[in-house]
Amino acid sequence: MGTAASSEGNGDAVPPSGGEGEQQLPTQIYTAAEVAKHNTESDCWIIIGNKKNGGPKVYNITSYLPDHPGGKHAILDMGGQNADDMFEDAGHSAGARKILAKFLIGVLAEA
């Protein structure tokens, strides 16, 4: 996939911005294989999102692990994977979704 960006480096991408309630996606594009490399407590990325809510997005939630109310292992079990079903099944609040948005680093490349 020629548009896939490298996951090497610090993982920084254009941060979300925009007006109240508006979220602009970063321009960084990652493949599922790249995300899969980030599956440890010291480097944990997840994919959340689907076609119904704007498409799959990539989040670097490493720094949030100690703060997760359900415990870090609830997230670590899905590290490097698509965690959308689990995230939605847990019934996360609007507040949780707002917190998640802070960790957005890119979008998932189309398969």
What percent of the chain is predicted at pLDDT more than 90?
Answer: 59
pTM > 0.85: no
Beta carbons within 8 Å of 104's beta carbon, 6+ residues apart = 15, 16, 23, 25, 26, 57, 58, 59
Cβ atoms 59, 99 nearer than 8 A: no
Nearest by Cα to 80 from 101, 60, 52: 60
Residue 48 β-bridge partners = 57
CATH T-level fold of 29-108: Flavocytochrome B2; Chain A, domain 1 (3.10.120)
Give the residue extent of every domain in the chain.
29-108
Nearest by Cα to 84 from 54, 50, 61: 50
- Write down the pLDDT at residue 25: 59
